[in-house]
């Protein structure tokens, strides 16, 4: 009997290293993500879009994936928004470039540089993601003839950029997020 108990105890001890303390690799429930969207616009793009019936409209993923729509203020060449959400998270921006139909006729230059660039940064509260940054061109059309402004703006009317921050701390592109 002693031999049986000894073998059972040895078998039990041999199996202990095969088990783990659950949750070691799982993210903590109190981890949050903070993302910053930074957009820059060329003055030519603003001139072509902003007016009585045009504009640049942004729908961005806000806190916990909520869609928030805003318009770029007249004359502002930059827009920045910081959002904190739960973890894992989805972040993104949809751009709507709407030309000012009566204003296009009033533009005086022969060619325009339609440029919009975006910098996206994200970090987690536990520091496991600390320096993730992406620079993305949204529109990069230089020397667009005045007669072609409508065509170029229509081609870029609704574009988007997005990212997912997964439970295993990977940040991946996600340009197919829902903004409606």
- The model's pLDDT over 3-28, given as tens digits with 9 standing for 90+, comes to 544 545 554 455 555 444 544 445 45
Domain ranges for the chain, please list them. Answer: 31-173
What would the two tokens of residue 96 be? Answer: 């709507």
Sheet holding 132-145, edge to edge: 78-85, 33-41, 111-124, 132-145
Cα within 13 Å of Cα(93), Cβ side: 27
Task: Report how far apart, in Å, the C-alpha atoms of 7 and of each of 3, 14, 17, 163, 164 are.
Answer: 6, 10, 17, 54, 51
Query: For 28-75, what is each residue's pLDDT tens digit?
Result: 578 999 999 999 999 999 988 876 667 899 999 999 889 999 999 888
Q: Is 17 or 98 the better-scoring residue by pLDDT? A: 98
Q: What is the pTM of this model?
A: 0.79
Percent of the chain with pLDDT over 90: 58
Instruction: Specify the pLDDT at position 41.
Output: 95
């Amino acid at each position: 009997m002693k031999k049986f108990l000894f073998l059972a105890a040895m078998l039990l001890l041999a199996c202990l290293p095969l088990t783990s303390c659950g949750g070691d690799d799982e993210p903590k429930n109190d981890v949050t993500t903070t993302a910053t969207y930074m957009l820059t616009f060329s003055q030519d793009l603003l001139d072509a879009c902003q007016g009585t019936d045009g504009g640049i409209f942004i729908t961005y993923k806000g806190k916990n994936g909520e869609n928030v729509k805003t318009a770029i203020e007249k004359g502002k060449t930059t827009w920045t928004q910081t959002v904190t959400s739960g973890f894992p998270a989805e972040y993104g921006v949809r751009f709507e470039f709407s030309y000012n139909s009566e204003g296009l006729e009033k533009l005086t230059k022969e060619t325009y540089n339609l440029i919009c660039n975006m910098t996206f940064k994200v970090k987690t509260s536990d520091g496991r993601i600390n320096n993730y940054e992406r620079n993305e061109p949204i529109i990069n059309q230089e020397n667009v003839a005045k007669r072609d402004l409508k065509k170029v703006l229509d081609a870029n009317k609704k574009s988007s950029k997005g990212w997912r921050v997964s439970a295993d701390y990977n940040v991946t592109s996600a340009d197919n997020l829902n903004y409606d």
